[in-house]
Amino acid sequence: MPKIHGMTIALIGSAIAAVGVMIAPLFVDLFQIMQLTVFAAMAILALSLGFIWGYGGILCFGQTSFFGLGAYAYAVAAINFGDSTPAIVLAIIVPVIFAALLGYFIIYGGVSDVYLGVITLTVSLILLNLVNSTAGDVYKIGTARLGGFNGIPGVPTINMPGDSSYILSPEQAWILTGLALIAVYLGLRVLIASTFGRVIIAIRENETRAALLGYDPRIYKLLTFMIGGAVAGFAGALYVNWGAFVSPTIFALGLSAQIIIWVIIGGRGTLVGPIIGCLLVQWMVTEIGSQQTLDASFILGAVLIGFVLLVPKGIAPTVRDFVAARLSRSNSDTVIEDVKQ
Amino acid sequence: MSVTPLLETKNLTIRFGGVTAVNNVNFTLREQELRCLIGPNGAGKSTFFKLLTGQLQPTEGHVHLRGKDISGAFPHQISRLGVGIKTQVPNVFDAMTVEENLWIAARQKHTPIFSSDLAEAIMTQLRLTGIAKREVGQLSHGQRQWVEIGTVLAGEPDLILLDEPAAGMTHDEVDRTAELILEINKKRALVVVEHDMQFIRKIAKTVTVLHQGAVLIEEDVHTALQDKRVQDVYLGKGLAV
Amino acid sequence: MDIAIIVGLDIISGIASLLLISAGLAVIFGMMKIINLAHGEFLMLGAYTTVLSVSAGVNIWLAMLVISPVVVGLFGVIVERCLIQFLYGRLVDTMLATWGLSLVIVGATTMIFGNTIVGVASPLGGFSVGQYQTSLYTPFLAVMAILLMVLIWAVMRFTRAGLIARAVMQNPEMAATLGVNPAKVYMATFGAGAAISGLAGGLLAPVAGIVPTMGAAYIAKAFITVVGGGTSILWGLISASGLFGFINQIAAFLTTPVFGEVILFISAVILIRLLPLGISGKFFKGRL
């Protein structure tokens, strides 16, 4: 496991990425800036699952529940307050509370991975049906109508904190979202390097041993699950901000599957992996969308099956192991070219 | 009874369906005592340890630690009261290094810096320093056992339960383990489950023999191993005593 | 009084539909301890098979009761041979692969049949209870659900395949030492589970809007039922369907169908907190 060395690389990489984010508007057009913004918001969502699954060992098939709740919480609060700052706070708090309640029941119930995955997936399906059924005037929170399957249009986008009349331009929104991605990445890196992070990895590796050493696995898992909910909710707020619109399809099975695919492709047990996986898949889906012959679901499903069968670790860990093997081989000066499997 | 024993079980019993794995066991251990627990396979030794550490809940009876009833408590709670266990099958953190395994164990009680020092000291004591940066998953069975013993020591428990600490070790390693146990015993109480009678003779003073979940006898080691009933129990399994 | 009869019929039909849509999933879960995430698509394929057979001039009863289970069952066997068998012992990867399969099936069906709703006419008429009209097809589904349970019970109880299945459910390792080939058992399990889902899909065809994505509408309830029931195939399924079907219909009657589903889910989550191994893990341990 890389420690000090890895953290230095992460910091340098983040600094370069931050500069890239800032100067990107000088080089690409508005359409591409918009595209990059939604990719970055989705990449934060990918980080949330990459963290709880890859490090916490929590198999959550319905991570989009927290993303969607964050998005709806942002939309409702932004419409009511006319100011995005408290809306973003609520977009984090609401999913965290939901994750705490749900997590209490399933994690303290001590259910297996299989159950956890299925129950969390079911949650997203139920939320989809629930929000879909909120058409009509009775379903409104404050001045915000939930709108059922039509969703909520015209959501106020992000403004400068303290000045609700200063709305961020698309370029500024991009810089905010891009920097948010980098900040979330670094925040999670620090968290993983902390005692808390090491304990959750230990629990992932061997829950029995962790308990026999005096750590309560349930509270650590619950906190991990809640942090994942917070990050996903924050991503949801940024996502709504991108399109000024949210609809129940945010809870649909397709997005749940995509989040899993991002993390599988990129690799569990890394943070860069899920970001790479997310960007690759987003780009691929956009490309597929621009032609008519192949269905996106079909390709995504095939990619998922292919990775599970052939590259179960995902891209980032496979590359990392390969590089590590090459380095140690050149160090020991052995010139054996063994065939890759 | 003037002094409260470190560990005391009262009528401890667990049944799985129709099988009584641990049957009405009354077991007492003094502070800093070293006790060996022997008995043929299936005698209930590992199950007894799981009851002591909260991995299983007793069907009947109680476990007291320094007079406090801990039956029904969670494993992490019992651990914090000062009970450490090396399980029969090594339970370690495979994807972490030896150093990190010990650090995590020490960190439960101590500050990060003190934990690093403690991990360092234990690695020296157990001669693990050379493999400090290796991932535990890549080590041999014997080395993994040492790492697990190290994590138990790093938790600084008052009572250490060792389930077959010498299994799968070479002759030299077995000798070292025996020495280590005697050294640990200077400060802490231990209960050791082992099949290797040479090993038992080296370390034991008092031996408790379990048979079919119940205490057969509890005697001084020489008397116990000469006992006709103990020999019958073991001869049934074809083991030389 | 009439309303009581109607609500009673609703409860029976709710329980029956849970039994039908969950049975195939329960068979695979009970034997292999995984949740087949392509379950909804197996139902969908069953429904499409019936629709296509009927439009090709086949008798609807034959299509629903024979062709759908056979076609989807064979499909299940193929899936097991081409995909699942490579992932034995990797529970999470197996579930992920079935999820990928689900996406592939939805995508392929969309490319072939398009995203339009098709359907078949119900082969049975209606009847009335006082002022309320209801379809004869509802009690028919209840009868089919009961027959399916009896069939599963009889197979488990009286056939050699059932004996092997019970042995595997109890203790897979031990079953292997008895000379049972686990590969064959899992192939047969997946085939049987798929066939039952195909049958359920066929039976649902006359009462469902059939689109490639229809599976998603059923899986939430099926997942809850199977997880709540636990790994004992028959008793877990029957107890969970009974409990959840009742709760769902009463809650739906008092509020709306969607809130009925929400209340169903909340009660299932509370149940899981109390009984992490499901109802059968507590009350029907080691039974069918």
Q: What is the pLDDT of residues B71-101, one digit of tens each?
A: 989 999 999 999 999 998 889 999 999 999 9
Number of Cβ within a 10 Å radius of residue A28: 12
Number of residues that this document lists for chain A = 341
- Distance between CA A164 and CA A83 in Å, rounded? 5
* DSSP 8-class letter at B137: G
- Distance between CA C222 and CA C44 in Å, rounded? 14
Evaluate whether residue A331 is within a structural domain.
no
Residue C272: predicted pLDDT: 83
For the cut 80, the answer to whether the pLDDT of residue C169 exceeds it is: no
For the cut 50, the answer to whether the pLDDT of residue A2 exceeds it is: no
Is residue A219 less than 8 Å (CB to CB) from chain B? Answer: no
Evaluate whether residue A317 is within a structural domain.
no
Evaluate whether residue A320 is within a structural domain.
no
Residue with token string 């050149």: A330
- Distance between CA A127 and CA A147 in Å, rounded? 14
A321-331: pLDDT as tens digits = 888 888 776 65
The fold adopted by the segment(s) C2-282 is ABC transporter involved in vitamin B12 uptake, BtuC (1.10.3470)
Token pair belonging to A240? 């709504």
Provide mean pLDDT across the span A174-188. Answer: 96
Q: Give the gap in angstroms from C-alpha A249 to the nearest C-alpha of chain C.
A: 13
Is residue A244 less than 8 Å (CB to CB) from chain C? Answer: no
Give residue A163's pLDDT band: very low, low, confident or very high (50, 70, 90). confident
Task: Say whether A303 sits in a helix, a strand or coil.
Answer: helix
Residue spans of the domains in chain B: they are 1-81+195-241
Residue C276: predicted pLDDT: 78
Residue C238: predicted pLDDT: 92
Least confident interval from A25-29, C48-52, C273-277:
C273-277
Token pair belonging to A48? 């949330």
Residue A111 has its nearest CB partner, among C93, C107, C272, at C272
Is residue A120 less than 8 Å (CB to CB) from chain C? Answer: no
Is residue C274 less than 8 Å (CB to CB) from chain A? Answer: yes
Q: What is the pTM of this model?
A: 0.91
How many domains does the structure of chain A reveal?
1
What is the ipTM, given to two decimal places?
0.91
For the cut 60, the answer to whether the pLDDT of residue A273 exceeds it is: yes
Provide mean pLDDT across the span A166-182. Answer: 93
CA A333 from chain center: how many Å? 41
Is residue C183 less than 8 Å (CB to CB) from chain A? Answer: no
Task: Return the percentage of chain A with pLDDT > 90, whole number.
Answer: 68
Candidates A240, A241, A258, A278; CA nearest to A64 is A258
Give residue A275's pLDDT band: very low, low, confident or very high (50, 70, 90). very high
Provide mean pLDDT across the span A109-130. Answer: 89
Report CB contact under 8 Å: A198, B92: no
3-state secondary structure chain C: CHHHHHHHHHHHHHHHHHHHHHHHHHHHHHHHCCCCCCHHHHHHHHHHHHHHHHHCCCCHHHHHHHHHHHHHHHHHHHHHHHCHHHHCCCHHHHHHHHHHHHHHHHHHHHHHHCCCCECCCCCCCEEEECCEEEECHHHHHHHHHHHHHHHHHHHHHHCHHHHHHHHHHHCHHHHHHCCCCHHHHHHHHHHHHHHHHHHHHHHHHHHCCECCCCHHHHHHHHHHHHHHHCCCHHHHHHHHHHHHHHHHHHHHHHCCHHHHHHHHHHHHHHHHHHCCCHHHHHHCCCCC
Residue B237: predicted pLDDT: 52
Interface of A with B in 245-274 (CB under 8 A): 269
Do the Cβ atoms of A168 and A158 come closer than 8 Å?
yes
Is residue A100 less than 8 Å (CB to CB) from chain C? Answer: no
Taking 50 as the pLDDT cut, the residues of chain B under it are 238-241
Which residues in chain C have Cβ-Cβ distances shorter than 8 Å to A309? 83, 86-87, 97
Q: Give the gap in angstroms from C-alpha C238 to the nearest C-alpha of chain A.
A: 19
Class of domain B1-81+195-241: alpha beta
Residue A53: predicted pLDDT: 96
Evaluate whether residue A11 is within a structural domain.
yes
**Minimum CA–CA partner of C29 in chain A:** A114
For the cut 50, the answer to whether the pLDDT of residue C159 exceeds it is: yes
**Minimum CA–CA partner of B105 in chain A:** A213
3-state secondary structure B139-187: CCHHHHHHHHHHHHHHCCCCEEEEECCCCCCCHHHHHHHHHHHHHHCCC
Q: Give the gap in angstroms from C-alpha A205 to the nearest C-alpha of chain B.
A: 5
A198-229: pLDDT as tens digits = 999 999 999 999 999 999 999 999 999 999 99
Which residues in chain A have Cβ-Cβ distances shorter than 8 Å to C214? none
Provide mean pLDDT across the span C62-86. Answer: 95
Residue spans of the domains in chain C: they are 2-282
Evaluate whether residue A323 is within a structural domain.
no
For the cut 90, the answer to whether the pLDDT of residue C8 exceeds it is: no
Provide mean pLDDT across the span C125-139. Answer: 76
Residue B232: predicted pLDDT: 81
Is residue A211 less than 8 Å (CB to CB) from chain B? Answer: yes
Candidates B48, B41, B38, B44; CA nearest to B236 is B41
